[in-house]
Every structure is written in structure tokens, then in C-alpha cells.
């Protein structure tokens, strides 16, 4: 029996995954391998380097200290140069690289205490690329390189971008790697936003998270009959924009408590879990 944790993307909503992880690890549910995409690659890399309660408290503290400007440092000049075609991105990835360099506990993917695999997308072919070896900072940065916002990362001659473009919740990769039980940690989406995001970044990230959940629902339906798929329910209702990093503490706490309640109520089911992610409205 091989257990995989699969962590999806979702920008600032990645804070939810921290609360989910705290409960799962606290209940003795541990992965034999970790597969992540985008922000799920960042959280997955931390988990692969250290999965104790103390390690996850440190990850939670890191999330509580994040701000949008620290992750996506933008300005009039950087936005203009991207808009007029002087470069293919709006924001430098220096902040993300620095964050990883300061916090990752291993330099190469193959050195992670828990086997780690992150998913990126080839810019030219559109195909997903699984990164399991090589410099960890490069791999995770590539998986999180939101197209048009962050620059692609060149690895082995290929320009790579955010894996969420093609395969945001890489259940198929976990199964190919031999997982028989797959715990999926989705970030969900803001189903109760009261107003339209006021920034281009906010609009872009909201659209991405909506697409993520559509794809995830299809993947769950496809693979439920192949492996033991267990989808941790995302938060609902949720009114936090994926571009808003100010609600991390609340999101972590809510996700931790909701996951505990879900496990206590023995609501793990074998089929029909895609319904958790279907589009819906609140009256």
C-alpha cells in the first residue's frame, strides 16, 4: 500500500492546505510520496522536507507572514514592460526563489526525505512535465510560474510554467508513481465573493482557481475507480480572493477544524466526491 498526498494550486488559498495537513498528520495519516502543483508544490516541498507537528506550525507561521507585495512585487514600470512586450511576464520570480532558498531543507529533489514530485507545463508543447530530480528551487519555481505573471523557468532546455495550466491536481501522476491511496488537498475557490476583484492579478487568479476546480472534478470522477481517492473537502462558503494573502490565519484554522470534523464524522466516501467542487451559489 502506497499513500500519496496530492496538493493543488490556488495562490493565497494554499493556506487551506496547511490546515488540512496539520489535521491529517496529527491523526497519523502520512504520505509515502508527495505530488504538488503551483502553490501545492511549495507546500508539498515543505512537507517533503519535514512533516512533524512543529514543522507544520512553522509552515503556518510562514503563511501568516506572507503579503501579496512580497509574493508578487508589482509596480507601474514592471507592468508596463510586460504589457508592451518588452518581456513575457509582469513580476519577477526573485521573491519566490528567495523564499524557497531560505526555507527548503534540501537542495535537490531526489534528496527530499519524503519523495517529492512537482508538475510544470512545457510552454511550447503544452504538455505536463513531472520534475522529480534536479535543483529543488528551480523545480518548485517552475511549477508555480503563473503564465503572464511570473517568468517561465528553463530546465533541461525546456521553458516551463505553472503546472496548473494543464494538470492542476495531478492525481494521474500519483497513480503512475504507484499510489494506491491518494489524499487530494484542494484549495477550492471563492464561492461567496461579494464583489468583482479590483486588480488584474485578482481577476486572473480567480479565473485560474475556477478552472482548477472544474478540472479537478473531472479528474476525481475519472480516477475514483482506479485508486482509493480521498478528497479533503475545501472550505465552503469561502469569500477570500486567491490574490488576498491577509486571511491566512483564518483559512488555516478553518481548514484544520473542518478537516478534523470531516474525519470524525467518517465522511470519507468512495464515489461522488467530485460534487464537492461543482459550481454553486449561495442564497
> Of these residues, 12, 51, 138, 162, which one is catalytic?
162
183 touches 29 (CB < 8 A): yes
Q: Nearest 5°: phi and psi at 135?
A: -55, 125
Is position 38 annotated as part of the catalytic site?
yes
9 touches 187 (CB < 8 A): yes
Query: Which among 151, 132, 155, 163 is positioned nearest to 38, based on CA atoms?
Result: 163
Is position 162 annotated as part of the catalytic site?
yes
Collapse the DSSP code of 62 into the 3-class scheme (helix H, G, I; strand E, B; otherwise coil) and give the result: helix
Q: How far apart are CA 94 and CA 99, in angstroms?
A: 9
> Of these residues, 38, 143, 172, 241, which one is catalytic?
38
Collapse the DSSP code of 174 into the 3-class scheme (helix H, G, I; strand E, B; otherwise coil) and give the result: helix
Query: Which among 19, 24, 23, 26 is positioned nearest to 5, based on CA atoms?
Result: 24
DSSP class per residue in 17-66: HHHHHHHHHHTT---SEEEEETHHHHHHHHHHH--SHHHHHHHHHHHHT-
Collapse the DSSP code of 192 into the 3-class scheme (helix H, G, I; strand E, B; otherwise coil) and give the result: coil
Q: How far apart are CA 227 and CA 223, in angstroms?
A: 6
The catalytic residue positions are 38, 162
Amino acid at each position: 500500500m502506497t499513500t500519496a498526498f496530492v496538493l493543488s494550486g490556488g495562490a493565497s488559498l494554499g493556506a487551506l492546505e496547511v490546515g488540512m495537513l496539520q489535521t491529517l498528520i496529527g491523526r497519523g495519516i502520512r504520505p509515502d510520496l508527495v505530488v504538488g502543483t503551483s502553490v501545492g508544490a511549495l507546500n508539498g516541498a515543505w512537507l517533503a522536507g519535514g512533516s512533524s507537528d512543529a514543522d507544520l506550525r512553522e509552515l503556518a507561521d510562514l503563511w501568516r507572514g506572507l503579503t501579496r507585495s512580497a509574493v508578487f512585487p508589482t509596480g507601474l514600470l514592471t507592468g508596463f514592460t510586460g504589457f508592451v512586450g518588452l518581456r513575457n511576464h509582469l513580476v519577477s520570480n526573485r521573491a519566490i526563489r528567495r523564499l524557497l532558498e531560505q526555507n527548503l531543507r534540501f537542495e535537490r529533489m531526489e534528496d527530499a526525505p519524503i519523495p517529492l514530485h512537482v508538475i510544470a507545463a512545457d510552454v511550447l508543447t503544452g504538455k505536463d512535465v513531472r520534475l522529480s530530480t534536479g535543483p529543488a528551487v528551480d523545480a518548485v519555481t517552475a511549477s508555480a510560474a503563473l503564465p503572464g505573471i511570473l517568468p517561465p523557468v528553463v530546465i533541461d532546455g525546456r521553458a516551463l510554467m505553472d503546472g496548473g495550466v494543464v494538470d492542476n491536481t495531478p492525481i494521474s501522476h500519483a497513480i503512475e508513481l504507484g499510489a494506491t491511496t491518494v489524499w487530494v488537498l484542494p484549495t477550492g475557490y471563492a464561492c461567496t465573493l461579494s464583489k468583482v476583484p479590483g486588480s488584474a492579478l485578482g481577476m486572473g487568479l480567480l479565473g485560474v482557481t475556477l478552472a482548477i476546480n472544474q478540472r479537478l472534478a473531472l479528474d476525481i470522477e475519472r480516477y475514483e475507480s482506479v485508486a482509493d481517492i480521498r478528497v479533503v473537502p475545501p472550505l465552503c462558503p469561502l469569500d477570500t480572493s486567491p490574490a488576498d494573502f491577509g486571511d491566512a490565519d483564518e483559512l488555516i484554522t478553518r481548514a484544520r477544524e473542518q478537516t478534523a470534523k470531516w474525519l470524525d464524522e467518517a465522511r470519507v466516501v468512495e464515489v461522488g466526491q467530485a460534487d464537492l467542487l461543482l459550481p454553486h451559489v449561495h442564497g
